[in-house]
């Protein structure tokens, strides 16, 4: 009887084992699907961040052109040129907010994607494929870290740059005169030099984002 019980329990044990295998397979499929979905979201966020950065750069050019026209203006043209600069600077502030929002979303989405990718790799049975995917993830993650470092560098300079524009707007707006425009001219020229440096650094960020978009991160 004892032997008979053991024999009758064996199919049940095999059924349970089979169920566990199926559950594990379903979990692996779910993780794989989740990783794929997150990769597509990461691509979209990358494209969106790139677009917003491009808009910021265009607005930065318009703001600096408006600002640079102030020291050259005659007394009668000062108000018009200051109003133009102030308006462009307000738009630049909005673009900065849009860029900051998209970059934060990109960083958050990227963090979730790379966690999911690691989980997906853990469910790859073939050792060769698992190693290849793990190495690929490490390479792309290194690129993402380099992008984050470039963004941090831009962020540090951006804060100082935008503060300088704010000071110029306040200073000129308090006493819009030829004398004040002349007084601010050196800081205006410095602002334009800073803007060029900022654009060069943002150009590096754009190149890294394009790298991600093309899928060629190595």
Distance, CA of 110 to CA of 116 (rounded, Å): 10
Domains of the chain: 12-214 (1.20.58)
Dihedrals phi, psi of 125, to nearest 5 degrees: -75, -40
User: Which token pair is 105?
Assistant: 């979303």
Q: Please state the three-class secondary structure of 64-80 as a single string.
A: HHHHHCCCCCCHHHHHH
Dihedrals phi, psi of 46, to nearest 5 degrees: -65, -45
Mean pLDDT of the chain: 84
Query: Can you list the positions of beta strands (E) in 50-156?
Result: none
User: So what's the pLDDT on residue 211?
Assistant: 78
In angstroms, how far is CA 109 from the centroid of its own chain?
Answer: 10
Distance, CA of 141 to CA of 217 (rounded, Å): 9
**Pick from 129, 65, 130: which is nearest to 91 by CA?**
65
The length of the chain is 218
Q: Residue 17: is its pLDDT beyond 50?
A: no
Give the count of beta carbons closer than 10 Å to the beta carbon of residue 63.
24
Place of tokens 């007084």: 183
Give the count of beta carbons closer than 10 Å to the beta carbon of residue 35.
21
pTM of the model: 0.78
Could you tell me what percent of the chain has a pLDDT over 90? 48
Q: Taking a C-beta distance cutoff of 8 angstroms, is the pair 92, 119 a contact?
A: no
pLDDT in tens, 158-203: 889 999 999 999 999 999 999 999 999 999 999 999 999 999 999 8
User: So what's the pLDDT on residue 4?
Assistant: 43
pLDDT in tens, 51-85: 999 999 999 999 999 999 999 888 889 999 999 99
Distance, CA of 89 to CA of 73 (rounded, Å): 18
Backbone φ/ψ region at 215: left (φ over 0), alpha (ψ -120 to 50), beta: left
């Amino acid at each position: 009887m004892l032997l008979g019980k053991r024999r009758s329990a064996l199919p049940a044990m095999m059924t349970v084992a089979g169920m566990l295998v199926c559950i594990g397979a379903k979990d692996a499929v779910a993780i794989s699907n989740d990783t794929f979905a997150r990769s597509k979201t990461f691509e979209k966020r990358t494209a969106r961040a790139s677009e917003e950065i491009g808009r910021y750069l265009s607005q930065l050019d318009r703001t600096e052109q408006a600002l640079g026209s102030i020291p050259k203006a005659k007394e009668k043209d000062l108000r018009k040129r200051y109003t133009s600069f102030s308006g462009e600077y307000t738009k630049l502030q909005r673009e900065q907010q849009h860029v900051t929002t998209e970059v934060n979303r990109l960083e958050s989405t990227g963090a979730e994607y790379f966690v999911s990718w690691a989980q997906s790799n853990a469910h790859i049975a073939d050792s060769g494929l698992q190693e290849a995917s793990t190495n690929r993830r490490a390479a792309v993650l290194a690129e993402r870290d380099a992008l984050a470092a470039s963004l941090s560098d831009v962020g540090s300079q951006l804060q100082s740059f935008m503060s300088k524009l704010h000071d110029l707007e306040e200073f000129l707006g308090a006493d819009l005169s030829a004398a004040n425009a002349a007084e601010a001219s050196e800081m205006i020229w410095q602002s334009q030099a800073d803007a060029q440096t900022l654009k060069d650094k943002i150009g590096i960020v754009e190149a890294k984002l394009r790298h991600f978009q093309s899928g060629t991160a190595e």
